Structure 1
Amino acid sequence: MLYLASKSPRRRQLLEQIGIDFEILDVEVPEIRGAGEPGIDYVSRVAREKAGAGLLQVVAVPGAIVMGADTEVALNGEIFGKPTDANDAAGMLSRLAGRTHQVISVVWCISAGQEDHAVSLSEVSIAPMDRACIDAYVATGEAFGKAGAYAIQGRAGAFVSHLSGSYSGVMGLPLHETSLLLERFRAG
């Protein structure tokens, strides 16, 4: 049985989209980047900790596999997590506007006797945006709960001038990489 250790409705939708059967586990993992911790290491660590926390909940279930994932936006080494309020969201979008940033998405699968992971790195270019445009977007509420304060699958898709990489990875779960991970994991 596959379990998804995530509160993200987008991750649930993406797994359902590719026909994966799973159950949800609610986990609480602190998302605090260590001093000097490289962005990709941070994202991978958080994803692995989510999967590990989930496994602790289902350790008695024979054959349980737990998937944990994390996605963050990175610009010049700085990680943009989820905004804390409207000012934080507007500040993030102001800094991303007119620039290209990286989206790091890591997925871990862990069972009682095995673990493996997949990484997706995407480059996203956001068109220039003025303050009125940013404020109007933040007012929709869509910026909240999203790394970098935007949802590529929503209204912010109109601001994305170029994407190189995984669209679903930018959403929060890279489907191609996740499918390959599950194949490797189940074969191992």
Structure 2
Amino acid sequence: MSVYNYLAKKANGDILSMQTYRGKVMLITNTASQCQFTYQYEDLQKLYAKYAAHDFEILSFPCDQFGNQNPESGAQSAAQCMGQFGVTYPIFDKVQVNGEMTHPLFNYLKHEVDAQPMSKDTMQQKLLYHRIEEQYPDYLLGHNIRWNFTKFLVDQHGKVIARFEPDASMLDIENAIQQLFA
């Protein structure tokens, strides 16, 4: 199995095969329009602008499983991301990333790379950990995605290389992307 075995629904309702991205490095993320990490849309757009010419794609999947932070539809989310944050990378339809209704692509991604222990070094990390612990304690276990803006780096061959938690440094993510182009 690889990431290429999956289909995804675009924000406009069209079904897209992940085969479309064969040979490209991908950063796949679950996002939300009203999250404390929403500023990352702009950071992700900067990465996309910098590396798109090198066969790099960012695939954004809105998700409303964490604190009702993306109540909009996929199409509304895409319009908001383009208008408010200048996003030009693909925004897909809204998905679930945990539980019985987990999108098959995210089920695959989260089982390919283990989650790292959550750091509690900064105030933001402590607050996020305690919110998850109080509201979604099961998300701290196993392969679950813990919050919005969890990112999966996929190489040119469809292999999941790394998982980055929402508070991961964009510099660390960019360094991992650069290694795949080396």
TM-score (norm 2): 0.27
TM-score (norm 1): 0.27
Higher relative contact order, chain-length normalized (CA < 8 Å, sep 6+): 2
Of Structure 1 and Structure 2, the greater strand share is in: 1
The structure having more radius of gyration, on CA atoms, is 1
